[in-house]
């Protein structure tokens, strides 16, 4: 059965498509979808796709994504597609790509890092490798994998 026949269309909101199968739950975590989250949300898992084999899809009503959320999604679901839905139609579509540096969205796991001291220094990581992702803290120069950061 076609994916769009399983879940009612949403009027306004966000659809994140082409998420690698198994990563949809993590995308929900990033977006803060947990008990008490008020918006209507759908997670489709293991949908067949010509392009990526099996995929997950996340749909959230009345929610727009911010840059920080998109960058975090890029870390765990690179090449997912971000669709903005307005009045039942896709009005904007873009591929979620990992930027070269990530600013202010992740906490450096090194307790001695200057970004974890009292002075307000925004965290900054350079993307050193994309798959699997490796990020280097610009301040303490330590290298981290995703499991250390999310």
Tokens of 134: 């490796």
Within 8 A by CB and 6+ apart from 46, the residues are: 21, 54, 55, 56
Number of residues that bind Zn ion (CB under 5 A): 6
Within 8 A by CB and 6+ apart from 117, the residues are: none
Nearer to Zn ion, 20 or 124 (CB): 124
> What residues from 91 to 110 belong to the interface with Zn ion (CB under 5 A)?
108, 110
> What residues from 110 to 129 belong to the interface with Zn ion (CB under 5 A)?
110, 113
Q: Which of 84, 92, 26, 76 is nearest to 59 (CA)?
A: 84
Q: From ligand ATP, Zn ion, none, which one binds at residue 139 (CB under 5 to 8 Å depending on kind)?
A: Zn ion
Nearer to ligand ATP, 63 or 124 (CB): 63
For the CB of residue 32, give the shortest distance to ligand ATP in the complex, in Å. Answer: 20
Task: Report how far residue 108's alpha carbon sits from residue 105's, in angstroms, rounded to the nearest whole number.
Answer: 10
Q: Which residues bind Zn ion (CB under 5 A)?
A: 108, 110, 113, 137, 139-140
């Amino acid at each position: 059965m076609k994916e769009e026949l399983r879940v009612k269309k949403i009027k306004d909101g966000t659809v994140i498509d082409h998420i690698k199968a198994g990563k949809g739950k993590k995308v929900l975590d990033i977006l803060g979808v947990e008990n008490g989250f008020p918006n209507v949300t759908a997670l489709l898992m293991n949908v067949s796709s010509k392009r990526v084999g099996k995929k997950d899809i996340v749909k959230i009503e009345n929610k727009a994504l911010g840059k920080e959320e998109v960058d975090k999604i890029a870390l765990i679901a690179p090449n997912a597609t971000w669709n903005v839905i307005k009045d039942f139609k896709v009005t904007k579509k873009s591929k979620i790509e990992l930027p070269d540096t990530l600013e202010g969205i992740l906490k450096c796991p090194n307790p001695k890092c200057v970004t974890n001291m009292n002075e307000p220094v925004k965290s900054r990581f350079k993307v050193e490798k994309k798959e699997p992702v490796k990020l280097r803290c610009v301040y303490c120069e330590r290298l981290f994998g995703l499991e250390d950061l999310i």
